[in-house]
Chains A and B, each alone.
Chain A
C-alpha cells in the first residue's frame, strides 16, 4: 500500500534499505545518503474540447535526514478555465440559465448541451509528510494537507504504520486519514431540488467588466442575488487503507490494498442542475440537484510490477463500489522500454467503466412525483472511459532527469436505461468528452 503519493512508498524504502545494505548506488539511494534535497517538478496542461482547460504545476521536495527519516513537502498550483456541463438537457430551442451568483444569465444555443461558461478558479495545495522507522521492521508515517480554491477549502491529516515480515519480503500496512472540506458556493447554497430562477437579463455580469469569473462575482462574499440562502457547507471524510505488499521473486513485486472511505455532510455539487421535462421533452423548469448526505465507498486495488531485462511492466486493477450503487472497474498498464542506459519510452493505457448512481437521472418527468435525491451530473451516470499515452524520459549526465508525456483521455457517457420523450430522442444527451494532456517533468 502506498502511504502517500510521494516519498513513503514501502517498496522505495525497501529498495533504499537494500541498496544501503548492498552498498549499491542507484540514484535514489545515492541522493538520499548524500542528505541532499531532491526535487521533482512537473507542469501539466489538460484541455478538453470546448470545455475545461487546466494548467497544474507541482514542486515536490524530499530529504532523507538520515536513517530513513524522510520528509516530503509538495506544493501544487492549478488554474482552471472553461465551461462545465451543468446537467441540464439540451433543447431544440435556445435556453437561458441564471449564473450561479444570480446576477445575469447566459444563453445556450438550440441543440447544444448546456455548459456553464462562468467557470474559472485557481487552487493551491500544500502537502507535508514525515516517515521514519519505529523499530527494526516497523515504519510510521504522518502527514497533513491543505487545499484552497475560491469556494472550497480542504484540510486533512493522515497516519500509517507498515510492518515488514520475512526478511522484508512481505509488508502489511494500515493507514488512516481524516479530511475536513468546506464549500462556500457562489450565490450561496441552493435549496435541494429548488427551482433555478429565470434570469432577469442575459449578460456577462452585473458590473459589466467582462471579467465574469467567480472571483469578481464575489469580491464581496454576500454580493449575490440570493441573500436568504445558506452559506458555507461542510463534509467530513474518513479513509482506512489496508495494504499487503509481497515480493514474489527477483523480478516481481505485488501489492493488494483494501480501502474504505466514509463521507458525511454536504456531498452535493451546488452548481449542478436537473431539467424537469414534459412528455414532449420540453423543459418546464430547472432544479438544483440533490444528493444524499452520506456515502461509503469500498475499493480493492491490485498492482504488479515486473522487471524486464530492458524495462518494467506495470499492471493494476481496481474494483470500486459504494452505497450510491456506483460500481467501477479500472485496468491500467504502463510498459517501460529502456532505449539506452539513460533514456526510456513508456506507453500507457487505462480503461475505466462505471455504472450510474441509484439517484442519477438525466432529467425529471413533470408528471412523476419529485424524488428525494436526483442528479443529472454525467459523472454519476453510466460511463466508459479510456486513456492512451506515451512518455519519453532521459537521465542527464549531471544526475538530473527530465521527461515529457502526452495522453489522450476520452469519456463516453451512456444512457443508463432512460426513455427519452419527444425532442430529447433526437438530441445528444450523452456527448463524449475528449481531452489532451501534455506534461513536462524535471527532477534534480
Chain B
C-alpha cells in the first residue's frame, strides 16, 4: 500500500508539473502528432492480441486499458 501511495504522489506531482509548465502545441503544430502511428493505441489489433496472450500467461494485466481478460485462458 505504501508503494501505491508513493506512486500516486509521483503521478500527482507529475500532473501538477505538467499543468503548470507551458506544455503543449498550437493547433497548427500538430502535423507530426496527427500521424496515425503517433496515436497512443496505433496498432490496436496487435495490442489487443498481446494483451490476451500476456493476460493468460502472467499474473498481472491492464494498465494501458481495462485489466479484465474475458476468457478462461488456462
Q: Which residues of A contact B (CB under 8 A)?
A: 2-7, 9-12, 14-15, 18-19, 21-22, 24, 26-29, 40-42, 44, 46, 54, 56, 58, 60, 74, 76, 78, 84, 119, 121, 123, 125, 145, 147, 149, 151-152, 154, 156, 158, 166-167, 169-170, 175, 177, 179, 181, 183, 237, 239, 241, 244-251, 253, 255-259, 261, 269, 271-272, 297-301, 303, 305, 307, 312, 316, 318-322, 324, 326-328, 330, 336, 344, 352, 354, 357, 379-380, 383, 385, 391, 405, 409, 411, 433, 437, 439, 441
Contacts and interface: CB of A to CB of B under 8 A. Distances in A.
B45 A307 contact: no
Interface of B: 3-4, 7-8, 11, 14-15, 18-19, 23-42, 44-49, 51-54, 57-72, 74
Given A170-B18, A303-B40, A320 B62 contact: yes
A169 B59 CA distance: 35
Contact of A301 (B4, B27, B30, B63): B63
Nearest to A247: B24
Given A60-B45, A123-B71, A246-B23, A24 B31 contact: yes
Contacts of A258: 8, 11
Given A9-B39, A255-B40, A328-B58, A84 B68 contact: no
A257 B57 contact: no
7 contacts: A74-B48, A156-B68, A246-B24, A249-B25, A257-B64, A307-B35, A379-B57
A166 B18 CA distance: 12
A119 B56 CA distance: 14
Contact of A300 (B11, B29, B39, B42): B11
Contacts of A246: 18, 23-24
Contacts of A299: 60, 62-63, 67
Contacts of A147: 70-71
A425 to B, nearest CB: 26
A5 B48 contact: yes
Contact of B15 (A26, A167, A256, A439): A256
Given A26-B35, A247-B33, A261-B68, A5 B41 contact: yes
Q: Determine which residue in A156, A249, A391 has the highest number of CB atoms from chain B within 10 A of its CB, and name it.
A: A249
A352 B58 contact: yes
Contact of A437 (B4, B26, B27, B53): B53
7 A-B pairs with least C-beta separation: A169-B24, A301-B63, A152-B72, A307-B32, A320-B60, A318-B63, A154-B70
B25 A250 contact: yes
A346 to B, nearest CB: 9
B58 A56 contact: no
Contact of A22 (B11, B30, B65, B74): B30
Nearest to A254: B18
